Structure 1
Amino acid sequence: MRHDMLDDMLGRAVSPIFVGRHDELAVLSEAYDLARRGDATAVLVGGEAGVGKSRLVQRFAQHVGEQGAHVLFGGCVELSAEGLAYAPFTAALRQLVREQGTARIAALLPEGATRDLARLLPEFGEPSDGHDSDTGRARLFEQFLALLERVSEQRPTVLVIEDVHWADRSSRDLIAFLSRNLRPAQVLMLLTYRSDDLHRQHPLRPVLAELGRVEGVLRLELPRLSREEVAQQMAGILGATPAYDRVQSVYERSEGIPLFVEALLDSGDDCGFPESMHDLIISAVERLPEETQRVLRMAAAGGNRVGHALLARVSGLSDVDLENALRPAIAANVLQVADSRAYVFRHALIREAVHDELLPGEHQRLHARYAEEISKNRMLVPPGRAPVELAHHWYSARDDEQALVSAWEAARKSFKAFAYTEAIPLLERVLMLWDKVRGAAELIGVDHATVLEKAAVAAHAGAEMEKGLKFVRAALEELDAAAEPERVAQLIILRAGMHISKGKLGVIEDYRHALSLVPEPCPARAEVLTQISRHLMLRGELEEGKQLAEEGLRLAEELGDKVLEGEFLMNLALGTSIDGDLEATLAANLRARELGEQTRHGLLVTRAIGNTIDSLCDLGRTREALELSHEGEALAKKYGRLRHNGTFILNNRAEALEALGRWDEAVEIVERALALQPALRNRYHLIRVRADIALSRGEVDLVEGILTELGVLKERPEDFVQDITNSTRLHIGWHLLKGEPDHALAVAERILARPMQASKAMLGWRLLSVIRLVCDAAEAADPARARSVREQAREVAAALTVGGPVAEAYRLTVAGDFDAAAAAWEHLERPHPRAKSLYYAAAVAAHAGDRDGAASRLRLAHPIAAGLGARPLVAEIEGLARRVGVSLDGQPASELLTPRELEVLRLVALGRSNRDIAAELFISAKTVSVHVSNILAKLGAASRGEAAAVAHRMSLLS
C-alpha cells in the first residue's frame, strides 16, 4: 500500500478529550510506583465490553512512557484458543527485537536462552532440541522472567497485555508465573479482560482467583460512565455542549458504556432505538456503501486484525480498489489502520457484530479463501502464525482433509514452542477427523497410534493426567507388544509417570513389565533402567535397585552415553545415601556433575548439585552446602531449570538454614521456591521444611495445614521411604506440640509396625530420636505401652548404620546420652537440637536430684531457644526451671515470687482456703485468688497441692 494514500484514510478520533477515569488512572499510577519499589507485579483491569479498558490503558501507557518507562505491548487474539500460544509475549518480544536488535536482547539473557526463545521468534536462530518436554516449558517461563528482569534494570518496564479472556493456556500460566515472581524487578504487568464474558466455566476464572491471592497483584474493575461523564464524552465528539434532554436520552440508552455512546451518536437517531446492542453496532456498518460492507465481512472472517496484502488476495481487489472500498469504513471509525500494513477493527465488538452477519455458506467460502491464500504464501500472516491460521481457516471451511493436515502441523508447531496444552485440542481434532479422511496416515506421515502417543506426551507435560491416561490406554490397545516392544515399553513408562503424578502407588509393576519388553542391551532398555532403578532406591528396595543401576551404568558406558552414565551414578548415590555411606554418595554425585559439565547437560549438572548439597548437610558440612546452593541456583538459572532442579536446590538450602537456626531466611527461601510453582514432589519437600520450623516455633495451625496438604492426617499412603519417614516425624511432632503424647505414641506404633524397608540412615535416626521422646512423655500415663514401643524402636535402631556426624548426634539422643548429643550438635553448629539436648540432659539431672547440674544446662539452653524464637522449647525450659527451683538468670529461686506471694504460698501450703488467707492477711478474697493464680503460673503447678509440693522441694518456705 502507498503510504501517501494512508494519510487521508485515518478516521476521526472518537473523542479528542479523555473523559473521566481519574480515580482509575490514579490507581494505575500508584501501582506503577509500587512496582518500581518491588511491591507490585500486576494490575488486572476488568470491565464490560466497550466500557473503555483499552482507552484507559493507552492513556496510562502514554503517561508513564512520558516519565521514561519502557512500555511493551502484547494482545491476545481469538485464535489463541486454537493453538496460537504465547501470542502476547511473542508480540512483546518482537517489539523488543525491533527496538534493540536480537544481539542486544541475546546479551541480556542467560547462556542458551535464545535457543528457547527461537521457538517463538525465528530471529533468534535455531531452537533448542525438543527432548525435554518435562522441563522445556518451565525453562521458557524462566527465560521470559530473566528477560523482563534484565530489561527493567535499564528502566522501569510496563508490559500491557490486552484481552486476557482470549489468552491461551500457556499464556495464562506464564502470566500467573510472572505475577508471583516479578516482585524484585521494576516491572508492572497491566492485564485487561472482559468481565462480562467470564461464564462459570471460563478458563480465566480460576486464574483470576489464583492471582487474587498473590501479594502484589491488584484488581481494578472499570465502571460505566456517569451521566456527567457521558455529557463530557458527547461534547468531545460533537464539538459542542449537547442539550440536556439529548444527554439524558443517550445516557439511558447507552447505560454509560462509551462504545454505545459513540454508536448512538453515529446513528443520529434519537427517536428510535435498536432492539439490541448488536443492532446498534451493526447499524453504523449498514450505513456504509454496499461494497464497503462486503469487504468488511471478508475482513471479519480474517479476525480482528488482517494484513492489507492478505485481504487484497482474499477479496480479489486491486490495491486501489481495496483502499477505495475501505476508505468509508476508516472514515466512520469502524476500521483503523495499524502498523505493518494491517487493518484493525476499532473494537472487537464491531468485528463480532460484522462476523455474525455472515451467512453459513459465505462463512465457509471466506475461510476457504483465507486458507488457500495463506497456503500459497505464508508471508501474508505474521511470522509463526501460518500453521495455526491454516488450522483455523481449513476447519472453519469444513475441508476435512486439509483441516486434519493443518491441525497436525499446528500441533507440531505447538510442541516446538513447548505449548503442550495448546497442542492437545489440535491433536484431538486430528483424531476426530481421522476416520473421515481417506489415507490420513499417508497424508501426515504417521499412524493413528503415533497421534495418540503425541497427545499423551502433551497431556503429561501439560499436567492433564486423566486425559493423558486415556490417550495412553487407547495407544496401547492399538499396538502389539510382540511387534513393537520398545514403543510399548515407552508408553508404559509414560503411564507410570502419570500415575506417580497422581499419587498412585504400585507403579513398580509397570516398570518391571516395561523392562521385560526390552531384554536386550539397547538405548530403550537403558531408559527403562534409569526409571526403575531410581524408583526402587526411593522405595528403599536397595538390593534390586543397585543391581539394575549397575547394569544400566555398564550399558551407558558401552553406549558411550555420558549423560546416561551420570544418571545411573546418581541413582546409585541414592542407594548409598539411604544406606548411610555418605562418602560414596558424595563421590558419585561429584562425578555425575563432572559428566554433566563435560556434556553441557544442565539437568545432570543441577540435579548432581542438589544431591551434593544434601550429602554435605548429612556429613555436617552445612556451611559448604550453603555456599554450593548459591552456585547451584545460579547454574539452574543459567540452564533454565530453576523451577525443577532449582527448587530442589532451594529446598536443600532451606534445610541447611533450618539446621543452622536461620529460620527466617529458611522461610523466605521456601516461599520464594513455592512461588516458582515447583513439581508436586518438590513442593512437598519444601512445605515439610516449613512444617519443621513451624513445629519449633509452636505454630500449631500452620503445621496442621501442611499435614493436611500432605495427606498425613488422612494417612494417605506414600511409596518413598524418605517421604514416609519425614511425614511420620512431623505427625508425631504435631501431636506432641498439642500435648497429645498418647496420639503421638499411636503414630509411632503404626510406623514401627510397618515392614521396615531401608531408610536413609540420618532420617531413620532422626525419627527414632523423636520416638524416644514420645516414649518419655507417655511413660507416666501408659508405661507398658511405652516400653513396648521402646523395644520395637531398639530393633529398628539395631539395623541402622551411622554414616556421619549428624546421624551420630541423633543416635546419641536415641541412646539417651543427651550431654554427648548436645556437644555433638554444638560442634555441628545446630542450635535448636543442641538446646533440646541440653533441656533433656537437665531433666535427667533434675530427676537424679542434681539441681546444680540441671541449672547449668538450663541456663545454657534458655538463651539459645529464646534467640531462635522456639516458643515450645522456651516454655519447657522455663517450666522445668520453676519445678526444680532454678533461676535462669542466676538469681535465688525465691526471687521468683514477690514477698506477698510468698506469704500467700505459705498459707496455701498449710491448706488454708482463700477466705481464710484473706482474713489473715487483711486483703480481699479476690486479691488472694489473683495471687494464687500467679503463684501457680510461676511455679508451673496445676493445683494448690502441687504448688505446695514445689514450694517444699524448692525450699521457698524455709
Structure 2
Amino acid sequence: MRAALEIRRGISESPVTAGEVVSSAQRLQVAAPVSAILVGEQTYRTTREVIDYSEAAPTAAKAGAGAILAWQALAALPRRGVDLVREPRTPLVGRKRELELLVSTLTRAIEERSPQFVTLVGVPGIGKSRLVFELSKRFDQEREQITWRQGRCLSYGDGVSFWALGEIVKAQAGILESDRPDQAEEKLRTAVAALPLTMDEATWVEREIWPLIGSSGERSPEERSEERFAAWRCFLEAMAERKPLVLALEDLHWADDGLLDFLEELADRLRDAPLLVLCAARPEFLERRPAWGGGKTNVLTIALAPLSEDETGQLLEAVLEQRELEAEVREALVARAAGNPLYAEQFARVLEEIGAVQQLPETVQGIIAARIDGLPLADKAVLQDAAVIGKVFWPGAVEAIGDIPNREVRGRLVSLERKEFVQQARRSSVAGEPEYSFRHILLRDVAYAQIPRAARGERHRRAAGWIQSPGRPDDHAEVLAHHYLKALDYTRATEQGDSALAEHARLALRAAGQRALALASYAAAARFYSSALELWPESDAARVSLLVEAGRARHAADGTGIDLLEQAFQQLAADRDLEAAAEVGVDIARRFWLSGDRDRAYEYIDRALALTDDRRDSRSRAYALVERAAYHMNASDNAQASRLAAEALPLTDAPGMDDVRIRALDVLGSSRTFTGNVAGIDDSKQAIALARERNSFSRLIVAELNLHCQLYFLGQLDAATDALTAARQDVERHGTADQRNWLRIAEAHQAILHGRWNAAAEMLEARIAEAEAGLVHYLDPTCHAFTRARETKDPQITAPALALCATVLLTQGRRKQASTLTSEVLACGHVQVAALLELHGAVTPIEFAWLVRDLGREAELLTALESAPPTPWLQAACAIAEHDSAGSLDLVAKIRAPSVDAYARLRAAEEAARSGSHDVAKELLAPALQFFRRVRAARHLAIADGLLAEGT
C-alpha cells in the first residue's frame, strides 16, 4: 500500500499571530501549489535578500477585503561572497555622479557584451564599499538576470594567494568554510556542471579551480601560472555566458601579485562576455602598480574625492538623525572630518557619546579608540578578540580566543552591532555559526592595536587552533601560517621560548608554501618556504623535500633557487634515494636549459640517467629519457632523439604517467618526422588524441603546434595550415602567453608564404609592440639578434639567425662577412639547413640555397645535404645548388607557397637573363610580377623591371 503526501505552506508575517494574519496565512496555504511555499508581502520584503522568489498570482481574500499579494519561494539564494555592506542607516551623499558612471558602465557591459574593468581608488573611509553596495542595490531587482559575486583581499603579510577569487568561487558553488573536502568537491562539481562548458572543459576547469578552495594537489615542476589562469578565465567566462556577471573585489591594495596578474590578463584576454570587474583600492595601490589598466579602452579608474563642506554637513545631520547642531559645533565637525564619510560618521557617534566637541580627539583613529574605550569591558574584550581573526569573524572563533562562553559572545556582538562597530552577514560561510564583520577595517585595526603586545601571541595561537578545526586545512593554510608566525614573533619578543609553537609554525609555513605553489603564486610560495627553512632543523629528514619545493618556487618567482635544488640533489644522492635524486636532476637540467645554459643542462640530465642505470623500468628513468630526447630534438639531433623517446615510451604505460607519455609521443613524432620518416605524423596524432582525452591542454597545444611544424617541414603547406587552424581554437581558449605568441608568429609566417604581407606585418608589429622592452626585433641591428641566438647553442635558433644575418650582409655588399656566417651554417651539415624550417625562420632553405650560389659555394651545400631527409624543401635546395632551376621550380611548386614560388621564379629569371634567354626570363617573371605587385614588394619589382628592360 502506498500513500501520497501533498504539502503546501502559506506564510503571512505580522507582530501578532492571531486574527487577520492567521486568516491570510490560511488563504496563502490553500492557494500554494503542491510542495510549494507562498508568502505574503511583509514576509517577502523581510526575507528577499536571502530567499529567491517568483511573483505569484494574487490570492483571493475574505469578502470585502482586497486580494493578498503573493510570492512563491524558490530556493535559498547563494552567498554573493563576503563583506557586503548591510543596508546603510544614512543616505548616499555626494556620490551620485560616480554611481551613475558605474551604472552606465555595467549597462554597457551587459548590452554590448563587452567586459569592463573599474577600479575605485580612495583613502580609507572615503566611500568605496558604499558605492559598491549602492550599485548592487540598484540591480537587486534584476538579480534573476545578473550574477553578483564578491571577494576581499586579506591584509596578511603580502596578501593571501588568490583569496578574493577563492571566495568568489566558493560563493558560486555554495561552499562553506566548514565544509569537508568531499563536500566541497561535490559542490564544485555541481556548480561547474551547471555552466555552458563541454565535458572536457568542465573536467579541466574543475581540476584547475580545486586548489582555490581545497587541496594543494600535485603539480608538475614545469607548470606555470598561465595554464591555471586559462582555466579560471574559462570558468568566469562561462559564468558570464550563463548570466551577466559582476565581480566585486574589495581591498585590492592587499591583493597578492598573482591575483593582480590574473586580473590584468583577464582584461587583456576577455572579449565577448557581459562582465564587470569592480575593484576597490587605496591610493598606494597605484604606487605599487602605476601602469594598472594603462592603454586599455575597457579599463576605468575612478578617484573618489572628499565630500564638500555642505555634503559633509548633510551627512552629519543624517547620522545624528536631523539633530540641530550649533554652527560652531557643525563647523568644527566638518573641519575635522575633512570630507571623509567614515570620519564624519565616527566624529558624530563619539559626539553623541561624550557630548562635547572640545573633547574630541584630532584623528579618526583617536576617535575610534575613544569610542572603544567607552565600551563596557566585556564588549571591548570581545571586540579585541574578534580583531585578532580579521575583518570577518565568527562567534566560535571569538569564544576560542577569549575563552568566553559562546552565548555571552553572541550577546556582546548584538550590543556591538547596535553601536555600529560590527555587522552581521546575511548568510554565513561557516555552518552553524553566524558571520560578522567590522563595519570598516579601521575599526578592526584600532581594536587590534589596543591589545597589549604581550597578550597578542597567545591570542594568535588560539586563533590558529580554531582555524585548524573546521573544514579544509589546505584552503586556510596561508591564514593559519599568518597566525602561527605572529604567535611565534610575539612570543619571542617577550623572550618566552616555545618549541611546540615553532614546530606548528614551520609546518604551517610549509603547508602555506604548498598551497601557494599549487596556485602558481610563486613569490608567495618562495616567502613561505624561506620562512619555513629558517625554522626547520638541519637534521630533519623532511628538510630535503622542503629544499626541492623551495627551490622550484624561487626559480619560478625570480630565476634563483637552483642552488637549493642542487643541495637537495646532492643530499638525495648521498642518501641513496636515487630515483628521487634523478627526478630532481631532471628538474635542475630543465631550468638550466630554459636559461640557455646547455652545458649545465646536459651535465645534470646525464647524471640523472646515470643514477637510474640499474632501474631501467622506473618512472624517473622515463622522465629523464624523455627530457634528454627533447634536448636532442631541440639541438636537431633527431636520430638520437627518436631513439631515446622510443626507449622511454614503454616505461610510460604505468598508471599516472599519461603526461610523460604524451610528451614522449610528441618528441618521438617530431624527431622521426625531422629525419624524413613520415610515420612520425602518426605518433604526434596519438599524442594529440591522448592529451585531449586526458584534458592536458598544455601538452595538447604543444603537440598541435609541433604537428604543424612537421607538416611544414615535409612541404605539406595546406595540411600545415589546417593543423594551425585546429591549434588556434585550443590556444585561444586554453593557451599560455608563450603559446599565443608562438601561434601569432606561425600565422604571420604562413601569411608571408601565402602572400598576405600586410596582414603579416600587422601581426608582427603587434607582437613587437608587446615585447618592446625585452625582445630583439627588426629595428635592431640584425647581427645583434644573431649574437643573442649564438649563445643558446641551439640550431633551431642559431641557423635562422645566421642565415638572416648573412642575407642582410650580402645585400649590403659585405660579402666576406656574409660568407663567414654561411660557413657556420654549412659546417654542421644538413642539421643547420634543415633547422631553417623548424621555427619559421625568415630565410627558407630555398632562399639560403640562392645565397650559397651567390657566394659560389654550391659544392659545400650539396655535401652538407648528402644525408638530408628527402623533403621538397631540401630537394629544391639541392636542385638550386646543382644549377637545375627548372627542377627546383617544380619542387617549389609542390610546396604551394606563393611567396617562395615568386622568389624562386625571380632568381631563375635572373639566371636565364644572364644566359641571354630573355624570353624564358619573361615567361618566368609573369606570375612572379603579379605576386610582387599585389604585395608591393618594391625591391623585387625593381629587379624584375630591370630584367624585363634588358630583354627589350
Scaled to the shorter chain, the TM-score interval is: 0.7 to 0.9
Aligned residue among 481, 495, 511 for 1:409: 511
Give the gaps of 5 or more residues in structure 1: 678-682, 692-701, 780-785, 887-952
Which range moves more in the overlay, 826-835 or 237-246?
237-246
Aligned residue among 356, 360, 364 for 2:457: 364
In 2, the alpha carbon distance for the partners of 1:617 and 1:360 equals 69
Give the TM-score, by structure 1 length.
0.75
SS in 2 for 1:344: strand
* 1:368-420 deviation digits (Å, cap 9, x = unpaired): 22123334x325xx886443333222222222122123233334444555555
> Structure 1 residues 597 and 368 mapped into 2: Cα distance closer, same or farther (>3 Å)?
closer
Instruction: Please tell me the residue identity of whatever aligns with 2:465.
Output: E
Correspondence 1:660 to 2:754: yes
Instruction: Please tell me the residue identity of whatever aligns with 1:378.
Output: P
Matching residue of 1:782: none
* 1:157-211 deviation digits (Å, cap 9, x = unpaired): 2212121222234323322332221123222322222223666xxxx53xx5364
Give, in angstroms, the shift of residue 535 of structure 1.
0.6
Instruction: Please tell me the residue identity of whatever aligns with 2:241.
Output: E
Aligned residue among 274, 291, 308 for 1:209: 291
In 1, the alpha carbon distance for the partners of 2:575 and 2:474 equals 41
Q: Is the 8 A contact 2:810 2:818 kept in 1?
A: no
Give, in angstroms, the shift of residue 150 of structure 1.
1.8
Matching residue of 1:76: 153
SS in 1 for 2:576: coil
Give the TM-score, by structure 2 length.
0.75
Q: Is the 8 A contact 2:346 2:364 kept in 1?
A: no
Instruction: Please tell me the residue identity of whatever aligns with 1:261.
Output: A
In 1, the alpha carbon distance for the partners of 2:787 and 2:814 equals 16
In 1, the alpha carbon distance for the partners of 2:794 and 2:128 equals 51
Aligned residue among 478, 494, 511 for 2:587: 494
Matching residue of 1:910: none
In 1, the alpha carbon distance for the partners of 2:543 and 2:694 equals 36
Matching residue of 2:184: none
Correspondence 1:49 to 2:124: yes
Correspondence 1:511 to 2:605: yes
Matching residue of 1:351: 444
What pairs with 1:858-897 in structure 2 (closer than 5 Å)? Answer: 858-868=925-935, 871=936, 873=937, 875-880=938-943, 883=946
In 1, the alpha carbon distance for the partners of 2:251 and 2:273 equals 24
Q: Percent identity?
A: 20
SS in 2 for 1:72: strand
Give, in angstroms, the shift of residue 861 of structure 1.
2.9
Give, in angstroms, the shift of residue 80 of structure 1.
7.2
Q: Is the 8 A contact 1:453 1:491 kept in 2?
A: yes
Matching residue of 1:727: 801
Give, in angstroms, the shift of residue 304 of structure 1.
0.9
Give, in angstroms, the shift of residue 489 of structure 1.
2.2
Q: How many residues align?
A: 826
What pairs with 1:538-937 in structure 2 (closer than 5 Å)? Answer: 538-542=634-638, 544-553=640-649, 555-556=651-652, 564=660, 567-579=663-675, 581-593=676-688, 605-634=700-729, 652=746, 655-662=749-756, 703-704=778-779, 711-712=785-786, 714=788, 717-732=791-806, 745=818, 748-749=821-822, 751-752=824-825, 758-759=831-832, 761=834, 763=836, 766-771=843-848, 786-787=855-856, 790=857, 794=861, 797-799=864-866, 801=868, 803-812=870-879, 824-847=891-914, 857-868=924-935, 871=936, 873=937, 875-880=938-943, 883=946
Matching residue of 2:165: 89
Instruction: Please tell me the residue identity of whatever aligns with 1:190.
Output: L
> Structure 1 residues 831 and 222 mapped into 2: Cα distance closer, same or farther (>3 Å)?
farther
In 2, the alpha carbon distance for the partners of 1:34 and 1:370 equals 42
Give, in angstroms, the shift of residue 312 of structure 1.
3.0
Matching residue of 2:312: 230
* 1:732-779 deviation digits (Å, cap 9, x = unpaired): 566678x57569727734744865582362726955544455578xx7
In 2, the alpha carbon distance for the partners of 1:584 and 1:730 equals 32
SS in 1 for 2:831: coil
> Structure 1 residues 829 and 477 mapped into 2: Cα distance closer, same or farther (>3 Å)?
closer
Correspondence 1:465 to 2:465: no
Instruction: Please tell me the residue identity of whatever aligns with 2:800.
Output: N
* 1:641-673 deviation digits (Å, cap 9, x = unpaired): 666778766765554454333467667888999
Q: Is the 8 A contact 1:267 1:284 kept in 2?
A: yes
Matching residue of 1:321: 408
Give, in angstroms, the shift of residue 317 of structure 1.
3.1
Give, in angstroms, the shift of residue 120 of structure 1.
8.3
Instruction: Please tell me the residue identity of whatever aligns with 1:55.
Output: R
In 2, the alpha carbon distance for the partners of 1:44 and 1:211 equals 9
Correspondence 1:307 to 2:389: no
Instruction: Please tell me the residue identity of whatever aligns with 2:525.
Output: A
* 1:325-344 deviation digits (Å, cap 9, x = unpaired): 23443233222222312111
Give, in angstroms, the shift of residue 367 of structure 1.
1.0
In 1, the alpha carbon distance for the partners of 2:246 and 2:807 equals 47
Q: Is the 8 A contact 1:41 1:182 kept in 2?
A: no
Q: Is the 8 A contact 1:728 1:747 kept in 2?
A: no
Q: Is the 8 A contact 1:632 1:646 kept in 2?
A: no
In 2, the alpha carbon distance for the partners of 1:595 and 1:146 equals 22
Matching residue of 1:153: 241
> Structure 1 residues 120 and 166 mapped into 2: Cα distance closer, same or farther (>3 Å)?
farther
Aligned residue among 456, 478, 501 for 1:388: 478
Give, in angstroms, the shift of residue 297 of structure 1.
0.9
Aligned Cα root-mean-square deviation (Å): 4.4
Bigger helix fraction: 1
Q: Is the 8 A contact 1:745 1:775 kept in 2?
A: no
> Structure 1 residues 757 and 622 mapped into 2: Cα distance closer, same or farther (>3 Å)?
closer
In 1, the alpha carbon distance for the partners of 2:136 and 2:876 equals 61
Correspondence 1:187 to 2:297: no
In 2, the alpha carbon distance for the partners of 1:400 and 1:512 equals 40
Matching residue of 1:16: 91
Instruction: Please tell me the residue identity of whatever aligns with 2:795.
Output: V
Which range moves more in the overlay, 366-375 or 846-855?
846-855
Give, in angstroms, the shift of residue 531 of structure 1.
1.0
Q: Is the 8 A contact 1:721 1:758 kept in 2?
A: yes
Q: Is the 8 A contact 2:805 2:818 kept in 1?
A: no
Give the gaps of 5 or more residues in structure 2: 1-14, 16-45, 48-84, 176-186, 429-433, 489-500
Q: Is the 8 A contact 2:852 2:858 kept in 1?
A: no
Q: Is the 8 A contact 1:540 1:758 kept in 2?
A: yes
In 1, the alpha carbon distance for the partners of 2:732 and 2:167 equals 24
Instruction: Please tell me the residue identity of whatever aligns with 1:725.
Output: A
In 2, the alpha carbon distance for the partners of 1:53 and 1:332 equals 22
Give, in angstroms, the shift of residue 30 of structure 1.
3.7
Instruction: Please tell me the residue identity of whatever aligns with 1:217.
Output: V
Give, in angstroms, the shift of residue 532 of structure 1.
1.2
In 1, the alpha carbon distance for the partners of 2:643 and 2:944 equals 55
Matching residue of 2:467: 374
Instruction: Please tell me the residue identity of whatever aligns with 2:901.
Output: R
Instruction: Please tell me the residue identity of whatever aligns with 2:246.
Output: V
Instruction: Please tell me the residue identity of whatever aligns with 2:578.
Output: P
> Structure 1 residues 568 and 102 mapped into 2: Cα distance closer, same or farther (>3 Å)?
closer
In 2, the alpha carbon distance for the partners of 1:767 and 1:114 equals 42
> Structure 1 residues 503 and 77 mapped into 2: Cα distance closer, same or farther (>3 Å)?
same
In 2, the alpha carbon distance for the partners of 1:558 and 1:29 equals 57
Give, in angstroms, the shift of residue 515 of structure 1.
1.4
